[in-house]
Structure 1
Amino acid sequence: MHAKQSPPADALPSARGGHKYQAVRSYLAALVQTELRVGDAIPSERALCERFGVSRMTVRQAVDALVGEGVLVREQGRGTFVAPQRMDFEMRLTTFGEEMRRRGMRPETRVLGMGTVAASAEAADALGTEPGAPLHHLRRVRYADGSPMSIEQHWVSVALVPDLLAAGHPPSMHDALRAVGLDPSWGEETLTAAEATDEEAALLDLRGTRAVLRATRRTFSADTPAMYSNACYRGDRYSVWVPLSAPAPALVPRLREHDDEREAVAATVHDGRTG
């Protein structure tokens, strides 16, 4: 078995006739693919400047491009490192555990709190109950292969599922709902970009960035709003993936009888004006 070798500079696209930073960018991208691992530091700016005969500004432009693509991550005061692979956040009704297992990763949970709370106006509206009504509440951090990925909160009406938390926190909220005949069948979700709070940054071990993706979801079983949830995902580990399709042809409604009459009158007036 041969050891991996750094790609030679002369084997990469030339900077002549194009942007100089492209050669540096291609070199770093190849280095990530062939030699470096997640968490490894990239070569210093000085070393890259000497290797390619370019300015520090050019090197920074190349690094900026890879940081923007999620290939590298900057940590203030430490340097620039190979970033963990981003995961697509596909818009579908699934659970964190199901998604991580589908990707071959080990899901884990740390419960931050659970119990019964009075429904806020927002939660009451989402669940179709009255403000102040008792709700089960569960807050937890979700991990994949030991790394914190998201902070989740769930609310379920006590009247709908009285014993939801009687045996402790359910490993899967969807399975807990299915167990009482409330199969999650559809949902609606809103996504927003935000900055993590101090507590969220600490729980998610955010260092180089505080960008997070917030998701608010209502999960339905048939016509029943069964669960209200919100989640805070690490912005450096998630990107949103949404399937798109070509729009269907626009439907032109048929004219009603009185519309037909108006069209005929308009035509007559028009013809009369133009002779």
Structure 2
Amino acid sequence: MSASPAWDPAREIVVDPGSPEPMYFQVARQLHAAIEDGRLPAGTRLDNEVDLAASLRMSRPTVRQAIQSLVNQGLLVRKRGVGTQVVRTKVSRPLRLSSLFDDLATLGGTPESVVLLNQVEHAGSDVADLLEAPGLTSVRRLKRVRSSDGEPLAVMNNYLPDGIIDPTDDELREKGLYQLLRSAGVRLHAAQQNIGARLATEQDAELLDEKPGAALLTMQRTTYDDTGRVVEHGWHVYRASRYSFNLPLTNGPA
């Protein structure tokens, strides 16, 4: 299935080079809107990057970054031999961004952290892809064990583009990551989150006071600010015996 003739990227997508909004984000935002309002329904195949870049009179890397951001959000998928297709229309729903530190404090617990890593390191291409930042050369890596009332609950890992915040170990022990980002003026807007499960490794077991092979919950989250920039990517493991995710569901059309 090809894109509907009624949807012409050269006519529908308007980019302002003088805008403070990155050009790739302008393209991604307008593609997102076309998917959301049905102009690009599920199954629609987009033009290849070369043709799309030519029609928009933009560089191929800019178009590739725009498409990749929507792939990362689950709106587009790349298929070998088929190309890039629309997967589904995004469901808009209120999203509250909070850290485990925030959640524990809200529940009346006493959140505590042991900082295992807080350093700036070289960003390889895989890390740059996770942060949707081609050309990124350095990244802040965080690793912490989060506890409540003296009992370990989770091992938290995060990558942040270097320069967004420069937290001390004391700040990471006393505050949640999102609290630190907001204090630095970062306007958190949305996130993509995946939840899964796996068995504890020996290292997990030692950090979380569990036995090797115990059930763990996993979570990966990519967080965006209000300009569409990725401000952090986290991958965490939680003790399934002490922690669960509550996902409210609402009744929808049959």
> What amino acid does structure 2 have at the position aligned with 1:108?
E
1:102 counterpart = 2:106: yes
- Unpaired segments ≥5 residues, structure 1: 1-90, 250-275
Instruction: Report percent identity of matched pairs.
Output: 25
Q: In the alignment, which residue of structure 2 is the partner of 1:164? A: 166
Change (3 A) 1:167 1:211: closer
Tell me if 1:225 matches 2:230.
yes
**Residue type of the partner of 1:215?**
M
Q: What is the Cα deviation at residue 209 of structure 1? A: 5.8
Q: In structure 2, what is the Cα distance between the partners aligned to 1:104 and 1:166?
A: 25
Structure-1 separation of matches of 2:104 and 2:111:
6
Structure 2 partner of 1:211? 215
Quote the Cα distance in structure 2 between the aligned partners of 1:237 and 1:209: 15
How far residue 238 of structure 1 moved from its aligned partner, in angstroms, is: 1.9
Question: Residues 212 and 129 of structure 1: is their aligned pair in 2 closer, same or farther, counting only changes over 3 Å?
Answer: same
Distance 1:150 1:109, change over 3 A: same
Where structure 2 has 5 or more consecutive residues not aligned to the other structure, the ranges are 1-94
Distance 1:92 1:125, change over 3 A: same
2:119 pairs with one of 98, 109, 115: 115
CA distance in 2, matches of 1:239, 1:166: 29
CA offset at residue 218 of structure 1?
Answer: 0.7
Shift, 1:176, TM fit: 2.0
**Counterpart secondary structure, 1:200:** helix
TM-score (norm 1): 0.52
Name the Cα RMSD after superposition: 2.2
User: What SS is found at the alignment partner of 1:190?
Assistant: strand
Give, in whole Å, the separation in 2 of the partners of 1:248 and 1:173.
37
- Residues 100-120 of structure 1 show CA distances to partners (whole Å, capped at 9, x for unaligned) of 111111000001111012224
Tell me the equivalent position of 1:261.
Answer: none
Matched, 1:151 2:155: yes
CA distance in 2, matches of 1:194, 1:117: 28
Q: Give the TM-score normalised by the residue count of structure 2.
A: 0.56
Give runs of aligned pairs for residues 116-265 of structure 1, distance below 5 A: 116-130=120-134, 133-159=137-163, 161=164, 163-165=165-167, 169-170=171-172, 171-207=175-211, 210-222=214-226, 223-248=228-253
d(CA) in 2 for partners of 1:247, 1:120: 42
Return the letter of the residue paired with 2:177.
Answer: M
8 Å CA contact 1:116, 1:136 repeated in 2: yes
Deviations 1:193-223 (A, max 9, x none): 1011110111000039611011010111111
- Residues in 2 aligned to 1:174 and 1:152: alpha-carbon distance in whole angstroms: 13
Which SS does the other structure have where 1:238 is aligned?
coil
- Give distance in 2, aligned partners of 1:239 and 1:127: 27
Aligned amino acid, residue 167 of structure 2: L
Question: Match of 1:154, SS?
Answer: strand
Shift of the 234–216 alpha-carbon distance from structure 1 to 2, 3 Å rule, reads: same
Larger radius of gyration: 1
CA distance 1:225–1:165, shift in 2 (3 Å): same
**SS of 2:98's equivalent?**
coil
Alignment of 1:78-89 (within 5 A): none
Q: Aligned pairs, how many?
A: 157
Larger deviation, residues 232-241 vs 114-123? 114-123
Cα distance, 1:124–1:143 mapped onto 2, change above 3 Å: same
| AA at the equivalent of 2:240 | G
